[in-house]
Amino acid sequence: MDGMIMKIGQKIKELRIRNGLTQQELADRCELSKGFISQVEREQTSPSIATLMDILESLGTNIRDFFNEQIDEKIVFKKEDVFSLENGELSHIIHWIIPNAQKNSMEPIIMELLPGGSSKIDGPHDGEEFGYVLSGSVILHLGKLSYRVRKGESFSFKPSMSHFITNAARGKSQLLWISTPPTF
């Protein structure tokens, strides 16, 4: 029977973090104290049903779904999960290989650059960028500098200056490109 006991506090904490809220923000939304939320999350106290309903509503769920749904995060993404968008003007296609990665701390995409294609110019931002060229050859433009990156090679940089990528191959080039925080 032990396996059946649900850790309500733990689950509330996971939902709160998923929603990008601090304990204080959740407390404010529910008109509760941060200390109370902290005690609930550490299983030191149990909220009344009415309070639990308030908390869950602030976290975008309800009691039925809270007790039914498994909070198992999706770990494996398949081809049908991919969302693709073609940019005719810049001659590229972006494949978002992890749906809704904008909510995560990193965002991986596969970018296809058609002949003469280019990514959009991205201004300086915090975080890091990493790329691995799957096919073809690209040029990474970083501020006034440019670097050729061929199939099987990778790049990694802190995006402290504006940057973009152009296709250096006659045909199509493809790269896996990961940005933290999400910028695509």
Assess whether the previous peptide bond of 181 is cis (omega < 30° from 0). yes
Res 70 pLDDT > 80: no
Res 3 pLDDT > 80: no
Residue 175 half-sphere exposure, CB side, CA atoms within 13 Å?
A: 34
Does any domain span residue 74? no
d(CA 125, CA 107) in angstroms, rounded, equals 14
d(CA 120, CA 7) in angstroms, rounded, equals 46
The pTM of the full predicted model, rounded to 2 decimals, is 0.63
Tell me, yes or no, whether 125 and 160 share the same domain: yes
Instruction: Specify the CATH number for the domain of residue 56.
Output: 1.10.260.40
Res 103 pLDDT > 70: yes
d(CA 81, CA 78) in angstroms, rounded, equals 5
End-to-end Cα, the chain, rounded Å: 46
Q: Which residue has the tokens 């104290």?
A: 33
pLDDT band at 66 (very low <50, low <70, confident <90, very high): confident
Number of domains in the chain: 2
pLDDT band at 45 (very low <50, low <70, confident <90, very high): very high
- Single out the residue in 68, 87, 117 at which a domain terminates: 68
What's the mean pLDDT in 127-145? 97
Where in the sequence is the domain holding 83, given as residue range(s)?
79-180
Does any domain span residue 60? yes
Helix (H) or strand (E) holding 99, with range, is none
What's the mean pLDDT in 151-167? 97
d(CA 137, CA 108) in angstroms, rounded, equals 19
What's the mean pLDDT in 77-92? 93
Tell me, yes or no, whether 24 and 83 share the same domain: no
Tell me, yes or no, whether 52 and 108 share the same domain: no
